[in-house]
Chain A
Protein backbone atom coordinates (compact mmCIF):
# COMPACT_ATOMS: atom_id res chain seq x y z
CA UNK A 1 0.00 0.00 0.00
CA UNK A 2 1.15 3.53 -0.57
CA UNK A 3 0.51 6.59 1.52
CA UNK A 4 1.20 10.31 1.34
CA UNK A 5 1.24 12.42 4.49
CA UNK A 6 1.01 16.17 4.47
CA UNK A 7 1.11 16.89 8.18
CA UNK A 8 0.60 20.63 7.82
CA UNK A 9 -3.06 21.38 7.15
CA UNK A 10 -3.04 25.17 7.00
CA UNK A 11 -0.20 27.66 6.71
CA UNK A 12 -0.53 31.41 6.77
CA UNK A 13 2.32 33.72 5.82
CA UNK A 14 2.80 37.34 4.96
CA UNK A 15 3.73 38.21 1.40
CA UNK A 16 7.45 37.92 0.60
CA UNK A 17 8.03 35.30 3.28
CA UNK A 18 9.49 31.95 2.27
CA UNK A 19 7.36 28.92 3.03
CA UNK A 20 8.02 25.18 2.88
CA UNK A 21 5.28 22.62 2.39
CA UNK A 22 6.17 19.18 3.70
CA UNK A 23 5.38 15.86 2.08
CA UNK A 24 6.29 12.41 3.42
CA UNK A 25 5.43 9.26 1.53
CA UNK A 26 5.37 5.50 2.04
CA UNK A 27 5.68 2.88 -0.64
CA UNK A 28 7.14 -0.58 -1.01
CA UNK A 29 7.96 -0.03 -4.67
CA UNK A 30 11.51 0.72 -5.67
CA UNK A 31 10.41 2.77 -8.65
CA UNK A 32 7.82 5.44 -8.11
CA UNK A 33 6.85 8.97 -9.07
CA UNK A 34 6.07 11.98 -6.94
CA UNK A 35 4.00 14.96 -7.94
CA UNK A 36 2.85 18.31 -6.66
CA UNK A 37 -0.42 19.86 -7.73
CA UNK A 38 -1.86 23.28 -6.95
CA UNK A 39 -5.57 23.96 -6.46
CA UNK A 40 -6.24 27.72 -6.43
CA UNK A 41 -9.53 29.14 -5.11
CA UNK A 42 -10.99 28.83 -8.61
CA UNK A 43 -10.92 25.06 -8.09
CA UNK A 44 -8.93 23.59 -10.95
CA UNK A 45 -6.00 21.26 -10.31
CA UNK A 46 -2.75 22.46 -11.80
CA UNK A 47 0.23 20.17 -12.28
CA UNK A 48 3.45 21.65 -10.90
CA UNK A 49 6.16 18.99 -10.97
CA UNK A 50 6.95 15.30 -11.36
CA UNK A 51 9.97 13.61 -9.82
CA UNK A 52 11.18 10.04 -10.49
CA UNK A 53 12.43 7.99 -7.57
CA UNK A 54 15.78 7.37 -9.24
CA UNK A 55 16.43 11.08 -9.75
CA UNK A 56 17.24 12.81 -6.49
CA UNK A 57 18.31 16.08 -7.99
CA UNK A 58 16.56 19.06 -6.52
CA UNK A 59 14.71 21.31 -8.88
CA UNK A 60 14.17 25.04 -9.04
CA UNK A 61 11.63 26.80 -11.20
CA UNK A 62 11.47 30.51 -10.58
CA UNK A 63 10.32 31.04 -6.99
CA UNK A 64 9.49 27.35 -6.60
CA UNK A 65 11.95 24.68 -5.51
CA UNK A 66 11.60 21.05 -4.59
CA UNK A 67 13.77 18.97 -2.28
CA UNK A 68 13.54 15.21 -2.80
CA UNK A 69 15.23 13.08 -0.14
CA UNK A 70 14.84 9.37 -0.58
CA UNK A 71 16.54 8.63 2.74
CA UNK A 72 13.75 10.36 4.63
CA UNK A 73 10.99 9.61 2.08
CA UNK A 74 10.27 13.28 1.72
CA UNK A 75 9.49 15.56 -1.19
CA UNK A 76 9.21 19.08 0.16
CA UNK A 77 8.15 22.17 -1.75
CA UNK A 78 9.47 25.65 -1.01
CA UNK A 79 8.03 28.90 -2.28
CA UNK A 80 10.46 31.78 -2.04
CA UNK A 81 9.20 35.34 -1.62
CA UNK A 82 5.58 34.22 -1.52
CA UNK A 83 2.90 36.21 -3.27
CA UNK A 84 -0.85 36.51 -2.74
CA UNK A 85 -1.39 34.53 -5.96
CA UNK A 86 0.31 31.56 -4.30
CA UNK A 87 -2.70 31.19 -2.01
CA UNK A 88 -4.08 27.75 -2.81
CA UNK A 89 -4.35 24.17 -1.63
CA UNK A 90 -1.23 22.21 -2.50
CA UNK A 91 -1.33 18.45 -2.94
CA UNK A 92 1.55 16.02 -2.94
CA UNK A 93 0.88 12.75 -4.75
CA UNK A 94 2.59 9.41 -5.32
CA UNK A 95 2.27 6.77 -7.99
CA UNK A 96 4.16 3.51 -7.92
CA UNK A 97 5.31 2.10 -11.22
CA UNK A 98 3.42 -1.15 -11.09
CA UNK A 99 1.68 -1.21 -14.42
CA UNK A 100 -1.55 -0.12 -15.96
CA UNK A 101 -3.51 -0.18 -12.73
CA UNK A 102 -1.09 1.93 -10.72
CA UNK A 103 -2.99 4.64 -8.89
CA UNK A 104 -2.18 8.21 -8.04
CA UNK A 105 -2.48 8.59 -4.27
CA UNK A 106 -2.91 12.11 -2.95
CA UNK A 107 -2.10 13.60 0.41
CA UNK A 108 -4.81 15.56 2.19
CA UNK A 109 -3.49 18.87 0.95
CA UNK A 110 -2.06 21.97 2.61
CA UNK A 111 -4.02 25.20 2.50
CA UNK A 112 -1.61 28.09 2.03
CA UNK A 113 -2.81 31.61 2.67
CA UNK A 114 -0.53 34.46 1.71
CA UNK A 115 -1.57 37.78 3.26
CA UNK A 116 -0.61 41.10 1.69
Chain B
Protein backbone atom coordinates (compact mmCIF):
# COMPACT_ATOMS: atom_id res chain seq x y z
CA UNK B 1 0.00 0.00 0.00
CA UNK B 2 2.88 2.35 -0.85
CA UNK B 3 1.63 5.89 -1.38
CA UNK B 4 4.34 7.29 -3.67
CA UNK B 5 6.77 4.85 -5.23
CA UNK B 6 9.83 5.40 -7.38
CA UNK B 7 11.98 3.07 -9.43
CA UNK B 8 14.81 2.48 -9.38
CA UNK B 9 16.04 3.31 -5.90
CA UNK B 10 19.64 3.43 -7.05
CA UNK B 11 20.94 4.27 -10.50
CA UNK B 12 24.62 4.21 -11.42
CA UNK B 13 25.52 5.16 -14.96
CA UNK B 14 28.22 6.73 -17.07
CA UNK B 15 28.40 10.22 -18.45
CA UNK B 16 26.61 10.66 -21.73
CA UNK B 17 24.02 7.96 -21.12
CA UNK B 18 20.25 8.50 -21.10
CA UNK B 19 18.22 7.24 -18.15
CA UNK B 20 14.68 7.38 -16.80
CA UNK B 21 13.19 7.39 -13.32
CA UNK B 22 9.60 6.33 -12.82
CA UNK B 23 7.13 7.54 -10.23
CA UNK B 24 3.66 6.37 -9.32
CA UNK B 25 1.23 7.52 -6.66
CA UNK B 26 -1.89 5.72 -5.47
CA UNK B 27 -3.23 8.57 -3.33
CA UNK B 28 -5.59 9.87 -5.98
CA UNK B 29 -3.76 13.19 -6.02
CA UNK B 30 -3.99 15.55 -8.96
CA UNK B 31 -0.52 17.06 -8.74
CA UNK B 32 2.91 15.49 -8.95
CA UNK B 33 6.38 16.93 -8.60
CA UNK B 34 10.05 16.22 -9.15
CA UNK B 35 12.63 17.55 -6.71
CA UNK B 36 16.41 17.37 -6.73
CA UNK B 37 18.39 17.02 -3.50
CA UNK B 38 22.04 17.84 -3.90
CA UNK B 39 25.01 16.58 -1.90
CA UNK B 40 24.45 19.28 0.71
CA UNK B 41 20.88 18.06 1.21
CA UNK B 42 19.36 21.13 -0.41
CA UNK B 43 15.94 20.35 -1.91
CA UNK B 44 14.75 22.23 -4.95
CA UNK B 45 11.71 21.76 -7.13
CA UNK B 46 12.27 20.91 -10.77
CA UNK B 47 8.83 20.29 -12.25
CA UNK B 48 5.19 20.07 -11.32
CA UNK B 49 2.33 18.47 -13.24
CA UNK B 50 -1.37 18.77 -12.65
CA UNK B 51 -3.58 16.25 -14.40
CA UNK B 52 -0.86 15.58 -16.99
CA UNK B 53 -0.30 19.28 -17.62
CA UNK B 54 3.03 20.96 -16.84
CA UNK B 55 2.48 23.84 -14.41
CA UNK B 56 5.91 24.45 -12.90
CA UNK B 57 9.13 24.27 -14.87
CA UNK B 58 12.10 25.62 -12.99
CA UNK B 59 15.35 26.55 -14.69
CA UNK B 60 16.31 22.99 -15.43
CA UNK B 61 18.51 22.01 -18.40
CA UNK B 62 16.64 20.80 -21.46
CA UNK B 63 18.28 17.42 -20.96
CA UNK B 64 15.64 16.81 -18.28
CA UNK B 65 12.21 15.99 -19.63
CA UNK B 66 9.28 14.98 -17.46
CA UNK B 67 6.44 12.95 -18.88
CA UNK B 68 3.06 12.29 -17.33
CA UNK B 69 1.08 9.55 -19.10
CA UNK B 70 -1.74 9.91 -16.56
CA UNK B 71 -2.28 11.73 -13.30
CA UNK B 72 -0.95 8.81 -11.24
CA UNK B 73 2.40 8.66 -13.02
CA UNK B 74 5.21 11.13 -13.57
CA UNK B 75 8.43 9.96 -15.13
CA UNK B 76 11.71 11.83 -15.47
CA UNK B 77 13.94 11.23 -18.46
CA UNK B 78 17.47 12.57 -18.48
CA UNK B 79 19.54 12.76 -21.66
CA UNK B 80 23.31 12.99 -21.94
CA UNK B 81 23.94 12.60 -18.25
CA UNK B 82 26.64 14.76 -16.67
CA UNK B 83 28.61 14.41 -13.44
CA UNK B 84 26.66 17.31 -11.93
CA UNK B 85 23.41 15.38 -12.32
CA UNK B 86 24.46 13.11 -9.48
CA UNK B 87 21.91 13.68 -6.74
CA UNK B 88 18.86 12.18 -5.10
CA UNK B 89 15.68 12.76 -7.06
CA UNK B 90 12.39 12.78 -5.21
CA UNK B 91 8.95 12.45 -6.64
CA UNK B 92 6.05 13.90 -4.65
CA UNK B 93 2.31 14.32 -4.96
CA UNK B 94 -0.37 16.48 -3.42
CA UNK B 95 -4.02 17.31 -3.85
CA UNK B 96 -5.11 20.11 -6.13
CA UNK B 97 -2.39 22.67 -6.90
CA UNK B 98 -2.46 25.87 -4.93
CA UNK B 99 -4.17 24.14 -2.05
CA UNK B 100 -2.73 24.09 1.43
CA UNK B 101 -2.27 20.36 1.41
CA UNK B 102 1.07 18.85 2.16
CA UNK B 103 3.13 17.00 -0.39
CA UNK B 104 3.92 13.34 0.08
CA UNK B 105 7.30 12.18 -1.10
CA UNK B 106 8.54 8.99 -2.63
CA UNK B 107 11.60 7.18 -1.25
CA UNK B 108 13.97 8.91 -3.63
CA UNK B 109 16.26 7.70 -6.42
CA UNK B 110 19.98 8.12 -5.86
CA UNK B 111 21.57 8.82 -9.22
CA UNK B 112 25.32 8.50 -9.51
CA UNK B 113 26.99 9.54 -12.74
CA UNK B 114 30.56 8.33 -13.22
Contact = CB atoms under 8 A, between A and B. Distances in A.
Interface of A: 33, 35, 37, 39, 43-47, 50, 52, 89, 91, 95, 97-104, 106, 108-109, 111
B49 to A, nearest CB: 11
Interface stretch (B12-20, B39-47, B62-70): B39-47
A89 B41 contact: yes
A89 B39 CA distance: 13
B56 A44 contact: no
B102 interface: yes
Contacts of A103: 45, 48, 56
A46 B102 CA distance: 11
A70 B61 CA distance: 37
24 contacts: A43-B88, A43-B110, A44-B105, A44-B107, A45-B108, A46-B105, A47-B102, A50-B102, A89-B41, A97-B98, A99-B98, A100-B50, A100-B55, A100-B97, A100-B98, A101-B48, A101-B56, A101-B97, A102-B97, A102-B98, A103-B48, A103-B56, A108-B40, A109-B42
A105 B76 CA distance: 21
A46 B104 CA distance: 8
Contacts of A95: 100
Nearest to B43: A106
Contacts of B55: 100-101
A106 B108 CA distance: 16
B45 A35 contact: no
B105 A35 contact: no
Contacts, number: 61
Contacts of B98: 97-102
Contacts of B45: 103-104
A106 B103 CA distance: 12
Given A91-B43, A98-B98, A99-B97, A104 B108 contact: no
B40 to A, nearest CB: 7
Contacts of B43: 45, 91, 106, 109
B103 A47 contact: yes
